Amino acid sequence: MDRAMLNRTSSGYKSLKQQKSVEDVALEPSDNLMASPARVTPFLIYLVSIVTLGPLLFGYHLGELNAPQKVITCKVDQVPTGSRYNIFNLPECIPMSDSQWGLVQSIFTIGGLLGALFSGSIATRYGRLFAMEWLTFFLAMGPIAEALADKMWVLTLGRALSGLGAGAATVVCPIYISEVAPKEQRGLFGAFTQVQINFGIFFAQLLGYFLSTNSRWRWILATAGIIAAATFVGLTLTPETPMWLAANNRPRMARGILQRIRGEEVDIQEEMDSWEISGDAEQESLLGPPRGLQPRKQQGVSILDVIRFPRYRRAVIAVTGTMMAQQLCGINAVVMYSVAILGQIMAGQAALITVVVSAVNVLVTLLASPLADKVGRKPCLLLSISGMGSASAMLAVGLTQDFTVLTIVGLTVIVCSFGVGLGSVPFILPSELVGPEAVGAASSWALAGNWLSTFLVAQFFPLLNDALPDGKVWWIFAALAAFFGAFVVAFVPESKGKASPEEVWGSVARPSA
């Protein structure tokens, strides 16, 4: 077939896509079964369940060292009579100073920052699935080193490896979910990223409550490796996202996978029409079978490009600001230091209360997951931030005045408010504010800001809490909530129900990359 005939064939196919023949109309079912809205298939549930195990491990590593800290560092002697070594000739504990323990804790966030920065470009260039398979390697190797550590530096190395994997997971996994979820339910499924993070924190706290004795703390650390191994096995049955395949000149493969995810009876043409497919790829879909794995033809946008181009830069500012708000409005101070906070008013029950707080966090985030699709992303963010700011003021007053009831109410409100918006919406925004060619780079900036904020809270909250009078540190979080509320009003657009970034940003054209 010569080039002219090929062009005529392609043009004819395009015109057929845009209008229906009389025969097509006659053959369409009157009840419009092909446009059935029943798109939540068992396969989609499976994909979301497997992919969100990465964020679950992020939450798990955040909470795994909270309860067993004193046992690991030999501050509590719960070793049975006899040798201090177990059958593997590993010590029952590893003596560490407070500064050394601080390094073990904070190195996780440094590893997470590096993982977040580089995983986006890898996911854009080589695919979401490829990036997820490699991040599970670090999520498995880290816990092995942690569980078998006999010296402080081995434990630190394990935490750094776990951080690399967790940082990458918080970038790549939300992108994958947003690209396989139906447009009208993207907020619901996107919320499961934060649900799994919170469940990981709860699971780690629960194990810590029962296993923080003798050498059993090693099983707390090893459990993360078992979950990572299960994740890798699950990924062997997980396909690449149809959107990434279409953007990389594999439309036939993309169509087949999308049909499997949505269900055989569902018409997927409207969703496919929103994909960006090059002329070469369109000819592939007309003339023959899929070509299999091919080099990329659409160049991804680098982490430097997304801040150079004005259209991308606006999106990067929006998603990075909301990701930083997620950590700087007070939730991590509660998650990481609830034992110290509540120990002032309910001594002796701090560990149990921490488990209860983590469970409430999971429950509220799960119950609030449909809100983003019902009332919108921006209202959820504003409601969440205003609630957390008010709760921080309650905590400041309650702790300053020794008002126990107000302190407990403040802690409850801050956890519930977080689940309404800040817990889930920031993970949804990157894939809605930029196209597939730039979502990896934008997510890397956003999660880098998230991890940096996590580090700041983990490192400086105890110092500020000690330096300031009781409760005064919470006024800082109240002020930060006011700042980020104004930020959301000014910089974050509403993306609920929008099919593409162009629809979100209106008439602002997306620059070529």
Most trustworthy range by pLDDT among 68-72, 75-79, 269-273: 68-72
What is the percent of the chain with per-residue pLDDT over 70, rounded to a whole number?
A: 80
Q: Is the pLDDT score of 444 beyond 80?
A: yes
Read off the pLDDT band of 341 (50, 70, 90).
low
pLDDT digits (tens, 9 = 90+) for 134-160: 999 999 999 999 999 999 999 999 999
Question: What is the rounded average pLDDT of the residues 167-175?
Answer: 91
In whole angstroms, give the CA distance from residue 439 to residue 125. 11
Counting other chains too, the contacts that 93-102 makes at CB distance below 8 Å and 24 or more residues apart are: 94/149, 94/150, 94/151, 94/152, 94/155, 96/72, 96/152, 100/152, 101/69, 101/73, 102/459
Question: What is the rounded average pLDDT of the residues 494-507?
Answer: 76
**Total Cβ atoms within 10 A of residue 199:** 23
State the amino acid at position 204 in one-letter form: A
**Total Cβ atoms within 10 A of residue 177:** 26
Measured in whole angstroms, the distance separating CA 294 from the mean position of its chain's CA atoms is: 29
State the amino acid at position 355 in one-letter form: V
* Residue listed under structure tokens 């407070």: 98
If one compares 186 and 492, the residue with the highest pLDDT of the two is: 492
Phi, psi for 91 (deg, rounded to 5): -65, 150
pLDDT at 52: 95
Span of 282-286, 306-310, 346-350, 423-427 with lowest mean pLDDT = 282-286
Q: Is the pLDDT score of 59 beyond 80?
A: yes
Q: Which two tokens stand for residue 457?
A: 């809270």
Question: What is the rounded average pLDDT of the residues 406-418?
Answer: 86
pLDDT digits (tens, 9 = 90+) for 211-263: 888 888 999 999 999 999 999 999 999 999 998 998 888 888 999 999 999 98
In whole angstroms, give the CA distance from residue 483 to residue 325. 9
Question: What is the rounded average pLDDT of the residues 75-87?
Answer: 50
CA angle, 80 then 85 then 88, to 5°:
130
Q: What is the DSSP letter of 303?
A: T
In whole angstroms, give the CA distance from residue 205 to residue 67. 7
pLDDT at 435: 80
Span of 27-36, 314-323, 475-484 with lowest mean pLDDT = 27-36
Read off the pLDDT band of 178 (50, 70, 90).
confident
Q: Is the pLDDT score of 420 beyond 80?
A: yes
In whole angstroms, give the CA distance from residue 179 to residue 243. 6
- In order of their start, the domains of the chain are 40-79+87-297 (1.20.1250.20), 301-513 (1.20.1250.20)
Ramachandran sector of residue 74 (left: φ over 0; alpha: ψ -120 to 50; beta: rest): left
pLDDT digits (tens, 9 = 90+) for 379-388: 999 999 999 9
pLDDT at 283: 40
pLDDT digits (tens, 9 = 90+) for 278-301: 444 444 443 333 443 343 444 567
- Selection from 398, 403, 418, 385 nearest residue 474 by Cα: 398
pLDDT at 236: 95
**91 CB-near residues (< 8 Å, 6+ apart):** 84, 85, 150
In whole angstroms, give the CA distance from residue 163 to residue 509. 37
State the amino acid at position 42 in one-letter form: P
Q: Which two tokens stand for residue 146?
A: 């942690």
For 318, counting Cβ atoms within 10 Å of its Cβ (0-12 exposed, 13-18 middle, 19+ buried), the class is buried
**112 CB-near residues (< 8 Å, 6+ apart):** 58, 163, 164, 166, 167, 170, 451, 454
Read off the pLDDT band of 432 (50, 70, 90).
confident
Three-class DSSP category at 173: helix
Q: Which residues pair with 85 in a beta bridge?
A: 91
In whole angstroms, give the CA distance from residue 345 to residue 276. 58
Task: Find out whether 510 and 500 touch, Cβ atoms under 8 Å.
Answer: no
Q: Which two tokens stand for residue 324?
A: 């930083």
DSSP line for 400-445: HTT-HHHHHHHHHHHHHHHHHTTTTHHHHHHHHHS-TTTHHHHHHH
For 490, counting Cβ atoms within 10 Å of its Cβ (0-12 exposed, 13-18 middle, 19+ buried), the class is exposed
Q: Which residues pair with 91 in a beta bridge?
A: 85
Q: Which two tokens stand for residue 492?
A: 């974050």
In whole angstroms, give the CA distance from residue 222 to residue 218. 6
Q: How far apart are the first and last CA of the chain?
A: 33
pLDDT at 348: 62
pLDDT at 477: 94
* Residue listed under structure tokens 């940096």: 452
**500 CB-near residues (< 8 Å, 6+ apart):** 274, 435
